[in-house]
Structure 1
Amino acid sequence: MNRSLLRRGLASTVLLAAVALAPPSAAVAADTTRVDVDVRAGLAPVATGALGVNHAIWDSQLGTPAVSDLLKDAGVQMLRYPGGSYADIYHWRDHTAPGGYVAPGTDFDTFMAGARRTGAEPMIIANYGTGTAQEAADWVRYANVTKKYNARYWTIGNENYGNGHYGSAWEADDHADKSPKEYAANVVAYAQAMKAVDPSIKVGAVLTMPGNWPDGIVGAGDEGSWNTEVLTRAGSVIDFVDVHWYPGGSSAAETLTKSSHIKDAMFLLRQQISRYAGDNADRIRISMTETNVDIGRNTQPGALFLADVYSELLAQGVFTVHWWNVHNGLGTVSTVAGQTDYNDFGLLSSGNCNADNTVCQPPLNTPFAPYHALKLMGSFARPGDRFIGTGADDSLVSTHAVRRPNGDLSVLLINKDPDNERTVALKYHGFTPAAGAPTVVTYTNGADELTTARTGTAGAQTLAPYSISLVTLRPFDSGAALPAPARPTATTTDRTATISWPSAGPGLKYEVFRQVDGVAAQLGETTSTSLTVRNLEPGKRYTVNVVARDGSGRTSVASPPLTFTTGTPADAPCTVKFRDTNDWGNGYVGSIDITNNTANAMASWTLTFGWPTTWQSLNSGWNATWTADGRTVRVTGDNALAAGATVNVGFVGSYSGPNVLPEVFDLNGHVCTSS
């Protein structure tokens, strides 16, 4: 699937042609998976502290040399303490958690000693549920003034939306008012008190992951959802937002499809931050401090999920991702893909048995499959690397890639088929690999360790069933690339975008690329520092990069990506106002006002729109005739629409992932103005 775009040789203006799927440059067998890797499709850099894991005070192995060394070997760069919901009952000064169990030898100093031995940064959860701003400020003083630990990251509470305000209650919260408004007010108080002690710390607020409960729900007495209220009221004082994600799934196969939700979820979360967090909202970063699976937690599904999800989240700019948990304990035992699964959230075995000692885990600290995947991630995503675009023509093969500062390219290949191997043909864009067999690190189903070998070629690899492979390549030309241009900006209309960027130096030509399924399609080139692209689609999301080229043909690293959405026509013959009027977490009531802006009545009319994702659907509709065909919805009026008149129609929609609302509506063949 060699995706290319017809180029026009214009200096500063280009007409956007339709994206064409050109035939591959070399024949690919029908049973071969094609993987494209494109260094021109730049994504996010890997931040310091990117690879994380939770460490809990009820874990008797917290901070021990054996565990710290295992985490160091896996490349863990950040450790979260004191552990999930326990954070909202934990009092650091006397090392107690009323109502919970605290293991001996797990106090803050022990944790920090283990973190230092691991070489990991701490992520500390301040007690919101049963604590105070003063208690949190005193903890900062002890950590960074008294002990000089330089603990930079502090989150206010854990899953505080689970305090009963929306019906479900698992998170401790002693506040009489359990609304997001009250949480936000306390975030402000905590941040001010904590930063008065150490202004250099970064303070995070708890949000919900788009598409996960209670995202979108407006509680009784609230003015907006949890995320809207918290960002509006506390956005000016926080440095990052913290979300958790347990996507579920009725089978391992379904769970392994959930990584496809991440790009839209991060788009929606950044959209919320931009809309509600006030001035300089771009400074607010995103952390993901808990994730895991429901099926195959200790076996290969958990490993494949970890590698895929960590990679996709980091590629989308999440600065740290944390597995839940280091140790957790035996659950209901089953067999998954031929391997014994202990239903244990932990990376490492707790070494315990069930009540009648008929089933026991492996010896204490034996690594489970996700540990090996995390160790492989430690070899893959290193601070300073930059993720780049990839794409595969097989839904059971996931791909990710990074470009290292020295020019090396590492490609992560995940075969999600439990029964069949895959032959992969790798095609590179903007990169020529050196000759010779590449270094390949592999983790296969049921293996006790990673294997490293020089195998296959840069262009062909064989993936074992249910496996992860990391292919690292040296460039053919090891000359230094030009520095990356700065992140561009865009000014848009419904069908044009003027993309601009600061000069990267004299005598350079710039090429602007659009990302299409992970591969770069050139929009145009210019010697200027802006490019106007025309013939765009209204209401469509675009991600672009800029690459510089000098007179000798050397190219730069791709700029940081810019994602923008075009608008809708300002002078259309119709206007549509769309509202989500009532949301319950996996469905909502949509209201659509349709206005005829012309001087003539419409004797008949049909409104058409498309679901932005595959996990959205129509349940029912009213005030018109509603039909759905795949992702296309048609609304046919029961009566004429008079000149200047407005009609309201409504529907019930369902979603099982991030609920990206439709933005483009077509009335009788004309794109409407949307609001």
Structure 2
Amino acid sequence: MKILKYSTFLLTCILSVYTSAQDVTLVKVVEESEAPMISKHIYGHFSEHLGRCIYGGLYVGEESVVPNTAGVRNDIIDALKELQIPNLRWPGGCFADTYHWKDGVGPKDERPTMVNRWWGGVTEDNSFGTHDFLNLCETLGAEPYLAANVGSSTVKEFTEYVEYVLHEGGSPMAEWRKENGREEPWNVKYWGVGNEMWGCGGNMTAEHYADVYRQYATFMTDWTNSDGLFRIASGANVDDYHWTEVLMRDVPKHLIEGVALHSYSFVEWNEKGSSIDYSEEQYFSTMKTALKMDTLVTKHSAIMDKYDPDNTIALVVDEWGGWYEVMEGTNPGFLYQQNTMRDAMIAGTTLNIFNNHAERVKMANLAQTVNVLQAVVLTEGEKMLLTPTYHVMKMYNVHQDAKLLPVEFNSPTYKFEGEELPAISVSASKNESGTVHVSLVNIDAHKKHNINLSLEGLGVKRLSGIILTSDNLQDYNSFETPGAIQPKEFSTIKVKKGIAEVELPPFSVLVLKGE
């Protein structure tokens, strides 16, 4: 795999002679003045009213024996602060297009209930609503991303939501907000105009949704008079390039700031397989779908480039992650799964893809934050643990709002039963203080790979690193052994003649820091 070729013939010759007797991957990191910034919002998260993500996960209620702040678990608040999450998407997902926001404000004991038709048919009591979510985002220092109802709502209900959240005062919705205990508006910038409109949002055609989107977006007003709303259109399902084509062609630029994309990683045949008891065949297949993200982003970006050559509209991958069978004995509609080193591989490679496409990809949201799909946090009663995915996201947060450093390399292959995948994934950045970070992933289930890293011209005097690895691909953190997998210092770095030599163990994630 080659990314943004910049190496000189001379350097290539030198490196080739130096490493000719070794099985190595040559990686060159360069500084390019035209390279984009890696938006911190690529490292966003997603919390839906699904299973135990909100109730029994994030939110336990103020009367819970679990230490909490306004009903939200303190241990999760602390964990997400450590993760430096830049934004949080809510309330869905499919749930968003059946959610009527007025049911979730006002006195909790007066709020109506509803049945969550999408996820398990459970009764939703609306005790966690807009105030709870937006106040949580303030506590976390994260930007809220409201996915608002288009599928079963009206323009009036939608625009009243915007007014409730953003208007300072003197309007009916602003005064109602004040009666409900919030004097100042929340200044929410990011708004999803519906969710999966090709499916659970209404099974619409792209052409029909484009017209619906134009209608809703027209009536959205930025009452705070700040830098404007960031309106995100419900985008394509995986490789539905026609959907992106229609939105870019039919929606005027002044009505749209972002186009979404949803793609999950899974076993390619009908059986999704266990999240912990999987074969190498299932692992290989899952990584194949994960690595397709690069193709998806490339092709959707090419369509967007045709209509938006100035790159004013963002590609927003607001649902991504691994999707397997639920854990045995749990509600099939709750999508609760464990999180192994396979998930760390998905997280590392996907984030590298987003980083390397930072010119167009300006936002993304891992699905989901707690107890659902590829979660970063799992809970069980009063217990809480951090998953391998959490650790990768934390290791990678050094790239947030740093400048992309293009990389060039030819990856060795991970071979399985006659098929091949690139084994190595890399991205790099340089922050304002001049510190360089290089993220490397080896997805090979068996082979270690030697990396020769050239940082010529970047002013790096010393290198340090942190690595996430384990003895077995299927290893995970359990409530009995919550610290089984966690990052460790990586000290086996050799520097010779300006080349850093590192050895990547099988299924490992390494982040190097150059100062």
TM-score by length of structure 1 reads 0.56
Alignment of 1:203-352 (within 5 A): 203-208=231-236, 212=238, 215-216=240-241, 225-236=242-253, 237-250=255-268, 251-258=282-289, 260-276=291-307, 282-294=311-323, 298-317=339-358, 318-328=361-371, 344-351=373-380
Q: Which residue of 2 aligns with 1:92?
A: 101
- CA offset at residue 68 of structure 1? 2.1
- CA offset at residue 404 of structure 1? 1.7
Q: Which residue of 1 aligns with 2:400?
A: 382
- CA offset at residue 392 of structure 1? 4.2
- In the alignment, is the contact (CA less than 8 A) between 2:148 and 2:191 conserved in 1? yes
Q: Deviations over 1:43-90 (max 9, x none)?
A: 431224331111123421336132222111112111000021101001
Give the counterpart letter for 2:385 in structure 1: T
Equivalent in 204, 207, 212 of residue 178 of structure 1: 204
Q: For residues 369 and 40 of structure 1, do their structure 2 counterparts lie closer, same or farther at Cα, with a shift above 3 Å needed?
A: same
- In the alignment, is the contact (CA less than 8 A) between 2:32 and 2:405 conserved in 1? no
- In the alignment, is the contact (CA less than 8 A) between 2:231 and 2:256 conserved in 1? yes
1: CA distance between counterparts of 2:399 and 2:338? 22
1: CA distance between counterparts of 2:154 and 2:405? 40
Q: Which residue of 2 aligns with 1:632?
A: none
- In the alignment, is the contact (CA less than 8 A) between 1:235 and 1:276 conserved in 2? no
Give the counterpart letter for 2:318 in structure 1: T
- In the alignment, is the contact (CA less than 8 A) between 1:373 and 1:443 conserved in 2? yes
2: CA distance between counterparts of 1:159 and 1:97? 24
- CA offset at residue 418 of structure 1? 2.6
Q: Deviations over 1:203-223 (max 9, x none)?
A: 1111215xx35x15xxxxxxx
Q: Which residue of 1 aligns with 2:385?
A: 366
2: CA distance between counterparts of 1:3 and 1:315? 14
Give RMSD over aligned pairs.
3.0
Are 1:399 and 2:414 matched, yes or no? no
Q: For residues 160 and 21 of structure 1, do their structure 2 counterparts lie closer, same or farther at Cα, with a shift above 3 Å needed?
A: farther
**Is the partner of 2:145 in helix, strand or coil?**
strand
Q: Which residue of 1 aligns with 2:272?
A: none
**Is the partner of 1:150 in helix, strand or coil?**
coil
Q: Which residue of 2 aligns with 1:113?
A: 135
- CA offset at residue 25 of structure 1? 5.5
1: CA distance between counterparts of 2:91 and 2:146? 7
Alignment of 1:604-623 (within 5 A): none
Q: For residues 196 and 466 of structure 1, do their structure 2 counterparts lie closer, same or farther at Cα, with a shift above 3 Å needed?
A: closer
Q: Which residue of 1 aligns with 2:219?
A: 193
- In the alignment, is the contact (CA less than 8 A) between 1:290 and 1:322 conserved in 2? yes
- In the alignment, is the contact (CA less than 8 A) between 1:41 and 1:389 conserved in 2? no
Equivalent in 49, 55, 66 of residue 41 of structure 2: 49
- CA offset at residue 372 of structure 1? 1.4
1: CA distance between counterparts of 2:487 and 2:8? 40
Q: Deviations over 1:389-427 (max 9, x none)?
A: 242432312111111222221111112123333332212
- In the alignment, is the contact (CA less than 8 A) between 2:145 and 2:188 conserved in 1? yes
2: CA distance between counterparts of 1:271 and 1:398? 22
Equivalent in 160, 167, 188 of residue 138 of structure 1: 160
- CA offset at residue 287 of structure 1? 0.9
Q: Which residue of 1 aligns with 2:62?
A: none
- In the alignment, is the contact (CA less than 8 A) between 1:43 and 1:389 conserved in 2? no
Are 1:441 and 2:466 matched, yes or no? yes
Q: For residues 172 and 206 of structure 1, do their structure 2 counterparts lie closer, same or farther at Cα, with a shift above 3 Å needed?
A: closer
TM-score by length of structure 2 reads 0.72
1: CA distance between counterparts of 2:252 and 2:38? 25
- In the alignment, is the contact (CA less than 8 A) between 1:415 and 1:463 conserved in 2? yes
**Is the partner of 1:194 in helix, strand or coil?**
coil
Sequence identity of aligned pairs in percent? Answer: 19
Q: Deviations over 1:175-194 (max 9, x none)?
A: xx933333222211211211
Q: Which residue of 2 aligns with 1:461?
A: 502
Determine which structure has the larger helix proportion and give its number.
2
- In the alignment, is the contact (CA less than 8 A) between 2:35 and 2:403 conserved in 1? no
Q: Which residue of 2 aligns with 1:633?
A: none
Alignment of 1:542-557 (within 5 A): none
Determine which structure has the larger strand proportion and give its number.
1
Q: Which residue of 2 aligns with 1:511?
A: none
- CA offset at residue 39 of structure 1? 2.3
- In the alignment, is the contact (CA less than 8 A) between 2:35 and 2:404 conserved in 1? yes
2: CA distance between counterparts of 1:30 and 1:384? 33
2: CA distance between counterparts of 1:263 and 1:346? 22
**Is the partner of 1:256 in helix, strand or coil?**
helix
2: CA distance between counterparts of 1:97 and 1:264? 43
Q: For residues 103 and 47 of structure 1, do their structure 2 counterparts lie closer, same or farther at Cα, with a shift above 3 Å needed?
A: farther
Are 1:161 and 2:198 matched, yes or no? yes
1: CA distance between counterparts of 2:435 and 2:204? 51
- In the alignment, is the contact (CA less than 8 A) between 2:48 and 2:93 conserved in 1? yes
- CA offset at residue 124 of structure 1? 0.8
Q: For residues 428 and 324 of structure 1, do their structure 2 counterparts lie closer, same or farther at Cα, with a shift above 3 Å needed?
A: same
Q: For residues 20 and 180 of structure 1, do their structure 2 counterparts lie closer, same or farther at Cα, with a shift above 3 Å needed?
A: same
How many residues are paired up? 412
Q: Gaps (5+ residues) in structure 1?
A: 8-18, 163-170, 217-224, 330-343, 353-362, 475-675
- In the alignment, is the contact (CA less than 8 A) between 1:398 and 1:414 conserved in 2? yes
- In the alignment, is the contact (CA less than 8 A) between 1:43 and 1:315 conserved in 2? no
Q: Which residue of 1 aligns with 2:187?
A: 150
- In the alignment, is the contact (CA less than 8 A) between 2:6 and 2:30 conserved in 1? no
**Is the partner of 1:419 in helix, strand or coil?**
coil
1: CA distance between counterparts of 2:454 and 2:263? 33
1: CA distance between counterparts of 2:41 and 2:6? 35
Q: For residues 77 and 90 of structure 1, do their structure 2 counterparts lie closer, same or farther at Cα, with a shift above 3 Å needed?
A: same
Alignment of 1:483-502 (within 5 A): none
2: CA distance between counterparts of 1:192 and 1:465? 51
Q: Deviations over 1:361-401 (max 9, x none)?
A: xx6431122111111122x3122333422424323121111
**Is the partner of 1:292 in helix, strand or coil?**
strand
- CA offset at residue 306 of structure 1? 0.8
- In the alignment, is the contact (CA less than 8 A) between 2:291 and 2:349 conserved in 1? no
- In the alignment, is the contact (CA less than 8 A) between 1:157 and 1:206 conserved in 2? yes
Q: For residues 30 and 453 of structure 1, do their structure 2 counterparts lie closer, same or farther at Cα, with a shift above 3 Å needed?
A: closer
Give the counterpart letter for 2:430 in structure 1: R
Q: Deviations over 1:72-125 (max 9, x none)?
A: 111211100002110100111112684414366421111112212221111111
**Is the partner of 1:385 in helix, strand or coil?**
strand
Alignment of 1:7-18 (within 5 A): none
Equivalent in 58, 62, 65 of residue 62 of structure 1: 58
Give the counterpart letter for 1:261 in structure 2: K
- In the alignment, is the contact (CA less than 8 A) between 2:447 and 2:506 conserved in 1? yes
Give the counterpart letter for 1:190 in structure 2: Y
Q: Gaps (5+ residues) in structure 2?
A: 60-71, 105-111, 117-122, 168-173, 175-183, 269-281, 325-336, 413-421, 476-483
Q: Which residue of 1 aligns with 2:86?
A: 77
Q: Which moved more, 1:240-249 or 1:33-42?
A: 33-42
- In the alignment, is the contact (CA less than 8 A) between 1:46 and 1:387 conserved in 2? no
Give the counterpart letter for 2:47 in structure 1: H
Q: Which has the higher contact order (CA 8 A, sep 6+)?
A: 2
2: CA distance between counterparts of 1:413 and 1:448? 18
Are 1:38 and 2:38 matched, yes or no? no
